[in-house]
Amino acid sequence: MRVNEPALPADREESLNPPVFAAGASLTKLANDFGTDKGTIILDGHAYTLVYELLFKNLRLQPINLLEVGLLIGGPELGNDANRKVTDAPSIRLWHQYFPHAHIYGVDISDFSQFESEWFSFFKADCGKVEQLRKIARAGVEFEIIIDDGSHASFHQQLTMLKFWPLLRSGGLYIIEDLHSQPRHYEKSLPNTPKTATQLKKFIATGCFIGTNALPAVEWGPVEETISNVMLFDNDQLAEMRRIYNRVEGYRPAVPNHLERPWPQRVLKRAHIRRLFETMRACAGVLTAQSHRGHCSPVTLAIVHKR
């Protein structure tokens, strides 16, 4: 079910209409071209799209509903005004290009209503306000994919998951990005909750979440009962995937290091030389890990599958 909204003037639709790329372009290539850090070269180059490609491929041409929380970097989580003027929503353009038959929904504390169109609907909400989240839920939309790329504050992530989990269809995916990066001023000012990565690790180990005064255990029950699987990815895993992808594709990261520079053409043409270099690097990585026992790369991406 979708929200019935009046069609907007064509000039308001144009601003998010993406350029036409080659049919079948990979999600990571699109992310890099659109300038979103979900890919492998923009800003931190999180490489989330390398994981998403495997999960989303069979849905690409389906008429799905996708919801993303947090539409543009630079909001209050970085100390900026919630009423900032926004001029773009790159990840929304990315999803429209990758899922041409989908209806995309966005949630943000800043106003992106100027971009609404026949394929994009917007909800303005503060993810720390229960009633505002409930209002979105009452719209009656069900989603195949929900992505939380909002403030990254633990309380916001968990409250949003509690209120939006019922909107996820059976078999759907609930994704939380940037679990390693909580804004300190939010963490101090919001109700005290465990880190979301800690909550998910607890669920994997015990099948239960940690109840708190802010988010009691009884509220987590319906979520716990309907989770099929949880996948967690840490920084090191994603960095390794990004490094290999960028080398093979010849991409140059925004802040490259000696391990992520593209292979020279003479090496690209000689697979046995590449394999030798990769083997040498893998051995060096093992030795480095041995010398840093106890180090654990932080979890940065969670994918939760609903039964």
**Count of domains for the chain:** 2
Task: List, in order, residues 6 or more apart from 97 with CB less than 8 Å away.
Answer: 18, 21, 25, 30, 34
Kindly state the helix (H) or strand (E) to which residue 303 belongs, with its residue range: strand 299-306
**Identity of residue 247:** R
Q: Minimal CA–CA distance to 200: which of 246, 263, 157?
A: 157
Within-domain flag for 68: yes
d(CA 303, CA 171): 12
3-state secondary structure of 234: strand
Within-domain flag for 1: no
Comparing 38 with 288, the larger pLDDT belongs to 38
Predicted local distance difference test score (pLDDT) of residue 250: 84
Residues forming the active site: 152
* 215 shares its domain with 286: no
Residue 43 tokens read as: 């800003």
d(CA 55, CA 203): 22
Q: What is the mean pLDDT of the chain?
A: 86
Residue whose structure tokens are 């049919």: 23
Q: Minimal CA–CA distance to 178: which of 300, 65, 81?
A: 300
* 271 shares its domain with 125: no
* 192 shares its domain with 266: no
Q: State the pTM of this model.
A: 0.85
d(CA 180, CA 186): 14
Angle in degrees, 0-180, between the axes of helices 48-56 and 235-249, rounded to the nearest 10: 80
* 171 shares its domain with 252: no
d(CA 187, CA 203): 22
Q: Minimal CA–CA distance to 16: which of 73, 102, 69, 87?
A: 87
Q: What is the pLDDT of residues 4-29, one digit of tens each?
A: 433 434 444 446 776 655 567 899 99
Provide mean pLDDT across the span 87-115: 96
Residue 285 has pLDDT above 60, yes or no: no
Distances (CA, A) of 294 to 75, 289, 291, 297: 35, 9, 9, 10
CATH value at residue 154: 3.40.50.150
3-state secondary structure of 258: coil
Q: What is the pLDDT of residues 162-201, one digit of tens each?
A: 999 999 999 999 999 999 999 888 888 999 999 999 999 9
Q: Domain range for residue 210?
A: 10-234+298-306
Within-domain flag for 138: yes
* 45 shares its domain with 63: yes
* 19 shares its domain with 161: yes
